[in-house]
Structure 1
Amino acid sequence: MKATQTTVTDQLAGLEHELTLLSRHYLSALAHRSGQQLDRSAYLILIRLGENDALSLKELAEAFRLDVSTLNRQVAAMRRTGLVERVPDPDGGVARKIRATEHGRQMVRDDRDRGRQNVGTVVHEWSDADVSLLHDMIAKFNQSIESLENNPWPREG
């Protein structure tokens, strides 16, 4: 094996290891996040619905790569707590769509604010350039995954 191939292999092994640690830290933090109001699935669904989007169960299932029945159970629980509502398809389709309620949008805004504070605690000693670089690289990595899966995720701004 050439030196360049070894270097790339070592870099990929290191990257895979760091991503494993990041996942562990992130999931552990989610499990112990103080003050967060939403469980992980509700948080992610509300983030995907955004401020104005209404999506069908099928569209949500495709976005999350989950079975419709799984999404249906999660959405049903969210409906019972007033986080989402069923609405007619704004485009006139037969299927009803799921939309975040004002209560759901407010709860996800509150949890996102807490999440930003938590991330801020981790990077508080970093330079603005380092925070920006990390953001740019994670965004690029996520967009590469989305491109490979042909499953783009909406972004703010």
Structure 2
Amino acid sequence: MSDSGSVDDTPFTRLVFELNLIARHYPATARRVPGFALDRSAFLILTRLELGDPMSLRELSEAFRLDISTINRQVGAMLKQQLVERVPDPDGGVARKIRATDEGRTALAAEQQYRAKGIGSVVADWADDDIAELGRLMRKFNRSVEQIEDNPWPRPQHTDS
């Protein structure tokens, strides 16, 4: 804030403001629209499982930086919905792993398509270069957060460029 009580108008303060608006717009609109099937935690867990091998509760807890009891509760709800299943560790470990079921993968694909359609309607009149630039900058921002937190997130191969 400046001495006059107004907010400083700098590129950084505008960035902070706009990121706060993204946090407000994106999940809020998705929840209000009919057809939103997965809650936020199920969507994120299924997205993470889609990007790699089955994971233990401990591995999910570490990936999301959440208490294991929170992950256990979220996965428990997903087990009841048959979105995930427990499987033996493919590497022969004692802990059972969690993987998406066919129903979970189908729900995730539908949710991803639904979200892509919503984002597509927002950027429908944007130039392809603008869409690519926003994607590049968002990826750079996310990777910077991951580096600071020492918590890299896997990405589909096509987005590693």
**Structure-1-length-normalised TM-score:** 0.91
Whether the 8 Å CA contact 1:84–1:99 is kept in 2: the answer is yes
Query: Is the contact made by 1:52 and 1:99 (CA closer than 8 Å) also made in structure 2?
Result: no
Question: Is the 2:83–2:100 contact (alpha carbons within 8 Å) kept by the matching residues of 1?
Answer: yes
Whole-angstrom distance in 1 between the partners of 2:80 and 2:52: 20
Residue identity matched to 1:63: A
Distance 2:62 2:31 in 1: 25
Distance in 2 of aligned mates of 1:81 and 1:51? 21
What displacement does 1:107 show?
A: 0.6
43-52 or 69-78: bigger deviation: 43-52
Q: AA paired with 1:68? A: I
In structure 2, how many angstroms separate the alpha carbons of the residues matched to 1:69 and 1:123? 39
| Aligned position for 2:72 | 72
SS in 1 for 2:73: helix
* Aligned-partner residue type, residue 97 of structure 1: K
Moved more, 27-36 or 83-92: 27-36
CA shift for structure 1 position 51 = 6.0
Q: Establish whether residue 54 from structure 1 lines up as the match of residue 54 from structure 2.
A: yes
Task: State the identity %.
Answer: 51
Separation of aligned partners in 1, 2:33 and 2:53: 27
Q: Amino acid of the residue matched to residue 141 of structure 1?
A: F
* Kept in 2: contact 1:51–1:105 (CA 8 A): no
Q: How many residues align?
A: 149
- 1:71-150 equivalences in 2 (<5 Å): 71-150=71-150
Amino acid aligned to 1:95? A
Cα deviation, residue 31, structure 1: 2.0
Give the C-alpha shift of residue 29 in structure 1.
1.6
- Distance apart, 1:12 and its partner CA: 1.4
TM-score, scaled to structure 2? 0.89
